Structures are given as structure tokens and as C-alpha cells.
Amino acid sequence: MKTCKVLVTGGCGYIGSHTAIDLLKQGFEVVSIDSLERSQAFVAGRVEEISGKPFHQYSFDCRDEAAVRKVFEQHPDISGVIHFAAYKSVGESVEHPLRYFDNNLNSLITVLRVAESFHVQHFVFSSSCSVYGNAASLPVTESTPLAEPESPYGRTKLMSEQIIHDYSLHSRMRFTVLRYFNPAGAHDSGRLGEIPFGKPDNLVPVITETAIGKRPALTVYGDDYPTRDGSCLRDYIHVMDIASAHTKALQYLLENKQKEKVEIFNLGSGEGITVLEMIHAFEKVSATELNYLLGDKRPGDVIAIYADNSKARSLLGWTPVRTTEDIMRSAWAWENRMREEKIK
């Protein structure tokens, strides 16, 4: 297995930190850039504790080109980049679209510009199933036509993919674009997981916050969608399965297995599960009855989406191994850990 030094932007964020752990466990050296605007400084130490390896964290905004360049100057042997750094709240993006366009697009452009100047040839981009919008048929494959995005967040991911495609035409870099569905859960150790910024709108942390008493009730947004129980249907995938896919995608590039300049992979469990089914799965695992309410539909939400992940299985050799129950069990352990350690 070929390894190298890799730059992970957003390396103290939810998916970035879990991917860093997987990379370190697989023998990679990891350099991280994270502004800590929507993450916490202690995460870097937690990554080192769990992996048993050094984790080089730099705290600044990826839009700061001079600062990004200094990191590459200090680590001229960086061979690959995994770019996570972005805002990710659908609801917030609807309220503040310019904030999302500025941050998500300009951070990508800056990192691309600097990486190219230092002759980096391998780039993994964190995209989203939001680029499919309300797909006409399910499950979605990588060739499913892209629909009009349902939110500015989704549009930034679509625009980022377009930037990468256009840039690749005259770049020495090869790009792997990973469209993942709904990452959830926490590290198996129970020592790291999702730390919501502000008031979370991702389902699983909302469930665990309700169960532990941080919020009085959970609202299910919409109960008359054309799904089997009327609630939205999604594809939830464990964060450590997502992390493993990023490591495998980078190895795929390093071993020159990728034939196209840009290759796209769906990362999902391959199964759809509704919001109400997720609630009931948590109740079963935790033996806790959840207080939830049925509310109005939420702007920006798609009705139903889940992945065909056969391409990633075939070419990357990636197979998700954790279940919905594993997601809920690990997320609940992490929620309790945050209460014990007074993490806010």
C-alpha cells in the first residue's frame, strides 16, 4: 500500500477529523488546516490520542492564500490534498447564501491554486448527494442527471465540482470527487464525534440532544411526503465508513489506478431509511423514548434520496460495514461523553 504526506483541509471538523484518524492508522502523515471557526481546538489532540500518531494542525482560514502557501513551504513533500473545508448547513445557506458562496468556493480556489504551484498531483474533493436534488429515479448512480440544487449549500457543491472539471482540463492534477450522503455516528472509541456548531439541523445529533435533554423535543419536518411513512427518506452512512472511503480514494490516485482526470463516486449505504425509522432505531438501541413532534416541511429539503454505491465498491474496494444501529449506538456514546467532559 502506497502512503504519503497529505494535507487535510477542515481536519478538525467532523468528517475531516475521522478521516485523519483513518489516514494515520493506515500509515499516512497528516497535515491539517482548520480555522476552528466551526470546530474545536481539542480535536487535534484527540486525533493524536486515538491514532497514536502526530497530527500537524494549522489554525487559519483556507481563503488566506499566503498562509496556505506557508504550510506547503514547511511541508514541501505533501503529495495529496483532501479538501473538506466548507460550511455545511442547508438551513443557514438558505438564510445566508453569499456567506456560503464566499467561503465554500473561494477556499477551494485558493487551495487548488497553491497545490498546483507546489506540483501536487492528487486531489480528493468532499462533495455531496445534494447535487442530485430531487432525483427522478432511485437509487442514484454517478451518471444520474444533476438536478437544480434545493439550497445554496447544494449549489456550492455543484459549482465546486464544475470548477474542478474545468480546472482539470489544463492541470497536472487528478481529482476524485466523493459525493456522500448523510454521514452520522461517531468514532468507535466513543472519544470523538460530531460537535454541532450552534443549533444543529442534522438529524442524528438532534436526536441525541433531545434524548439527553439539551432540547425539549425533536421536530420531524413534514409527514406527508410520498414515502412509506410520510417523512423524508435519506441514506445514512457511518462516519468511519466515510473516512475509510477517503483513504481508499487517495490510495486509488497514488497507485495510478484512476484513468480519468476527474472520477466521481457515491458514498452511501445503498439503502434508504426515513426520519421516523431513524428515530425508532435510536429508541431501540438506547432504550430511550424520544419526544418528537410533526411539523411543517423545511425549505431546501429533498424528498427522498439514497445511493447506488456499486462503483465505489468495485473500483475503490470500499464496503460500508457499520449498520444503522452502529450509527445510533456510537452517536449516543459520544453525546454522553460530551456531557461528561462538558464539551459545548
pLDDT digit string, tens, across residues 209-221: 999 999 999 999 9
The active-site residue out of 14, 100, 132, 153 is 153
Domain membership flag for residue 209: no
Give how many domains the chain has, as a whole number: 1
Cα 288 to Cα 27, 194, 205, 279, 291: the distances in Å are 40, 20, 15, 10, 10
pTM score, whole prediction: 0.95
The reply to whether 125 falls in a domain is yes
- Give a yes or no: residue 138 inside a domain: yes
User: Domain range for residue 68?
Assistant: 5-183+236-268
pLDDT at 116: 97
153 is catalytic: yes
Separation in Å, CA 200 to CA 27, 90, 271, 275: 33, 10, 24, 15
Integer Cα distance of 236 and 221 in angstroms: 17
Flag the least confident range among 111-120, 141-150, 164-173. 141-150
Is residue 133 very low, low, confident or very high in pLDDT (cuts 50, 70, 90)? confident
Task: Establish if 228 belongs to a structural domain.
Answer: no
What's the pLDDT tens digit per position in 217-261? 999 999 999 999 999 999 999 999 999 999 999 999 999 999 899
Indicate whether 292 belongs to any domain: no
Return the C-alpha cell found at 254: 497514488
What CATH number is associated with residue 119?
Answer: 3.40.50.720
* 84 falls within a domain: yes
Residue 218 lies in a domain: no
